[in-house]
Structure 1
Amino acid sequence: MKRESVRKSVAIIVAAGLLVAVAGCSSSGSSAASCSPLASAGSASNLVAATGEFDKAPSVTFGTPLEAGADTQRTILIQGTGAVLQSDGVISGDYTLLNGTTGATISTTKYDGSTFSSFPIASSGLAGIQKGLACATVGSRVAITMPPADGFGAEGNAQASVGPTDSLVMVVDITNAFPGRANGAVQPAQAGFPSVALGPDGRPGITIPSGPKPTELKTAVLKKGDGPAVADGDQVIVQYTAVIWADTKSVATSTWRDGAPTAVKASATADLATTVVPSLIGQTVGSQYITLVPPSAGYGATGSTDGKIPADSTLVYVVDVLGILAVPATK
């Protein structure tokens, strides 16, 4: 099945560059009762109708020009009963984004049951999206109306044909949600592996030990999740950091540094340059693991094509398995 990347699928939204974290709902045990929404239904959002079944392309109607008022509003059109969205988590679903002033469609997913948009809530690009999704639940269809300040701002967005005074309307079907970090049970440390210390947000800090570099691919589980196991071909949302086992001990690549989890394909046969992260197959959702990757199992004598990983590099990956996005049609 096809899956859009976490960033590219919402590129037109991320282009606005307005980053506002959602307050509340930050733990995996959050409930709707303990979560504080950042937007409520109002005269603008109540004007938006979206007919059709959940996860099917809706027919969105509202009077134009829609006056969004001073604040983002949200109306729950279909109430879901699933998990509450977490502030540091990842949403997966379908959406339709429209210019509230003209009624023109700006962007939409395919609503084909296999190609969803997935993006981290806290860095989805538009403040109105984050406010509108705060404390919503999986299975919900949400209508969000955004004033320019919570949309593309005073400059508008010429590429999206949005003027500086145009409001935005977004209808989101929330099909799934994932935490932003591994939440499994901590496992005993194993000898011979680098030590890992986690920051307040779950970001791993990796300390390379003294001694010779590993010459074999080795993996140890740091946290054991109780979710389903990753199978060959699964599309998986992960957070990961890879460091080079060398004198510089430099970070080669990291979703934490880039600001967003990513979707990768688990493969038993593809090389590391294709799969992005190693040793995914068999890991359970909610787990964090560490893998030692010698050059023979990594980027070999050539290094990575982007130049971030030099030739003959030994790598250390720490990977958080956040969720399985799709099951291939061949299964």
Structure 2
Amino acid sequence: MRKASALIITAGLVMTALTACAGPGTAQASCDAGAPSGAASKLVSVTGDFGAVPDISFPTPLKSSTTQRTEIIAGSGPQVVPGQMVSVESNLYNGTTGEPLQLSAFDGSTAVEFGLGDATNPGFVAGLVCARVGERIAVVIAPDDGIGVNDQLRVSATDSLVLVVDIVKAFLPRADGADQAVANGLPAVVLDADGTPGIVLPSGDVPKALEFGVLKKGTGEKVASDATVVIHYTGLLWASDKVFESTWATRTPRVVPLSDLPQGLATAISGQTVGSQLVVVVPPALGFGPAAQGQVPAGSTLVYSVDILGIN
């Protein structure tokens, strides 16, 4: 195949494809289930330094019935775990034709965030879990683990994909701050072993104003009012005690500007530190207001448990 230059192509289309194909349970695999090295992934030749445009070649057609990965440059950072949000620079190719589907600049300007959970392509998840921050890897994604038939990208049902990835950063998988006491009257948050929260409403009247408490106090960077944050959260309707939204359901954190969150939730997160966990009660005026939105009825009081995993 021809060697690629640092041209960015069809990035939005590829990102959509990589985050729309996984089935339930993908991110629950342990690190022992991460993709092994194999004959196909060892055929991908990659030279160049981490953080610089790689020189990539491989024979075509390159096919594999299993997803494989081979370490190109060792990383010394934390190990990536299932369900974690990572920031990567990557080149993606059609293994049959050698044609590039997406090329990155590998200079930080084209880094993309992925949650390695149930909402992300299973081949991508298997290729990255258990690798380390600072690592460069070559992954050959089997057709059954890939993006399926995609006419726009000219990918057929039998095409393997070749992915070369620099793992630039990994965000916290869950809040890791020190436990804090909170005021009486706030909802309680009970955590499963993996950090999934359950919200328990107190008896008494519905709060009329914004109320929040810090359940865990992190030691990371402070969140500015105009920040884009990486968060895990569950949202509950006070009136019905029903969850209306949860990133924990797919084990895929969300990267979001504070300005895109309900005002009350954004206010509570602003000024907090990475690694913190909050419980937040948002009155209708600071939530979705008098209009219904999705599963949220008009005039709803909202309750959130939110883990602040990082600042993007």
TM class, shorter-length: 0.7 to 0.9
1:24 equivalent to 2:20? Answer no
Moved over 6 A (4+): none
In the TM superposition, 1:69-80 aligns within 5 A as 70-80=65-75
User: TM-score, normalized by length of structure 1?
Assistant: 0.80
Distance in 2 between residues matched to 1:142 and 1:226, nearest whole Å: 31
- What RMSD in Å do the two structures reach over aligned CA positions? 2.7
1:101 equivalent to 2:88? Answer no
Q: Which amino acid aligns with 1:24?
A: S
- Quick check: 170-179 or 119-128, which moved more? 119-128
Q: Which residue of 1 aligns with 2:63?
A: 67
Report how far residue 97 of structure 1 moved: 1.4
Q: Which amino acid aligns with 2:44?
A: V
1:301 equivalent to 2:290? Answer yes
Please state whether the residue corresponding to 1:44 is helix, strand or coil.
Answer: helix
- Quick check: 214-223 or 292-301, which moved more? 292-301
Cα shift readout 1:273-313 (whole Å, capped 9, x = no counterpart): 4797441112111111011111232233335xx34333322
Distance in 2 between residues matched to 1:129 and 1:200, nearest whole Å: 25
User: TM-score, normalized by length of structure 2?
Assistant: 0.85
- Name which of 140, 143, 152 aligns with 1:145: 140
Report how far residue 170 of structure 1 moved: 0.5
1:283 equivalent to 2:272? Answer yes
Distance 1:292 1:180, change over 3 A: same
- Quick check: 177-186 or 11-20, which moved more? 11-20
Distance in 2 between residues matched to 1:210 and 1:275, nearest whole Å: 22
Distance in 2 between residues matched to 1:242 and 1:9, nearest whole Å: 30
**Aligned-pair identity (%):** 43
Contact 2:40 2:140 (8 Å CA) reproduced: yes
Distance 1:271 1:139, change over 3 A: closer
- Quick check: 287-296 or 55-64, which moved more? 55-64
Distance in 1 between residues matched to 2:288 and 2:13, nearest whole Å: 25
Contact 2:117 2:251 (8 Å CA) reproduced: no
Distance 1:321 1:59, change over 3 A: same
Distance 1:166 1:281, change over 3 A: same
Q: Which residue of 1 aligns with 2:5?
A: none
Report how far residue 124 of structure 1 moved: 5.5
**What is the number of residues matched between the two proteins?**
300
Q: Which runs of 5+ in 2 are unaligned?
A: 1-11
In the TM superposition, 1:79-90 aligns within 5 A as 79-90=74-85
Q: Which residue of 1 aligns with 2:20?
A: 15
In the TM superposition, 1:16-55 aligns within 5 A as 16-18=21-23, 20-21=26-27, 23-25=29-31, 36=32, 38-55=34-51
Distance in 2 between residues matched to 1:139 and 1:53, nearest whole Å: 11
Q: Which runs of 5+ in 1 are unaligned?
A: 1-6, 26-35, 326-331
- Quick check: 116-125 or 278-287, which moved more? 116-125
Q: Which amino acid aligns with 1:302?
A: A
